[in-house]
């Protein structure tokens, strides 16, 4: 149990030396670009959840056109436990528009706005997602009702 030894997937140490208040949350970006959220506990800054990794390319189907078109639009992904498996969840985020869309698998993208950072977008998506009733059978049910996905 060594709270100071959080390290990024890339191997760099994530050293958070700044003082904080218990319960305070802070975003931390590694030199490689990955984002983390940290929470201050008695012993110091503790990594709250897994990395958010920037990605150059990702499937953009299912995201709304106006968000995709915004010039400062950035893409990220992180892993989340869904129906017992760790699956990639994609985030499209525009700082200027303060909008994000978050989506996994064939689920409809969830729009989150206003939102100031991709870390905040993830936090809010997880809160929403984890409050949904458990899915049956470990396999997402068909949810494409509205032509968001390419037609068969
Ligand atoms: Zn890193």
Mind listing the pLDDT tens digit of every residue in the chain (152 residues)? Answer: 344 558 899 999 887 777 889 999 888 899 999 999 998 988 788 888 789 999 887 667 889 999 998 889 999 999 999 889 999 999 999 999 999 999 998 888 999 999 999 999 999 999 998 888 765 444 454 444 444 444 33
Is 142 inside any structural domain?
A: no
Is 138 inside any structural domain?
A: no
* pTM, two decimal places: 0.77
CA of 7 to the centre of ligand 1 (A): 8
- As a dihedral over the C-alpha atoms of residue 53, residue 54, residue 58, residue 64, rounded to 10 degrees, the angle is 110
Shared domain check, 84 and 27: no
Is 86 inside any structural domain?
A: yes
Which ranges in 64-117 belong to alpha helices (H)? 65-69
- Structurally, how many domains does the chain consist of? 2
Is 80 inside any structural domain?
A: yes
Residue range(s) defining the domain that contains residue 110: 54-133
CA of 50 to the centre of ligand 1 (A): 12
Q: Where are the beta strands (DSSP E) in the chain?
A: 25-29, 35-41, 44-47, 53-54, 74-82, 85-94, 99-104, 110-112
* Residues shown for the chain: 152
């Amino acid at each position: 149990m060594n709270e100071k030894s959080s390290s990024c997937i890339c191997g760099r140490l994530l050293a958070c030396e700044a003082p904080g208040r218990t319960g305070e949350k802070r975003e931390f970006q590694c030199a490689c670009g990955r984002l983390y959220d940290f929470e201050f506990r008695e012993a110091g800054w503790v990594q709250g959840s897994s990395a958010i990794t920037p990605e150059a390319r990702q499937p953009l189907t299912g995201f709304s056109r106006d968000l995709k078109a915004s010039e400062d639009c950035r893409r990220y992904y992180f892993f989340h436990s869904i129906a017992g498996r760790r699956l990639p969840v994609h985030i499209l985020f525009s700082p200027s528009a303060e909008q994000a869309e978050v989506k996994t698998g064939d689920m409809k993208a969830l729009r989150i706005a206003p939102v100031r950072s991709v870390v905040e977008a993830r936090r809010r998506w997880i809160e929403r997602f984890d409050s949904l009733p458990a899915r049956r059978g470990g396999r997402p049910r068909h949810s494409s009702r509205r032509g968001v996905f390419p037609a068969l």
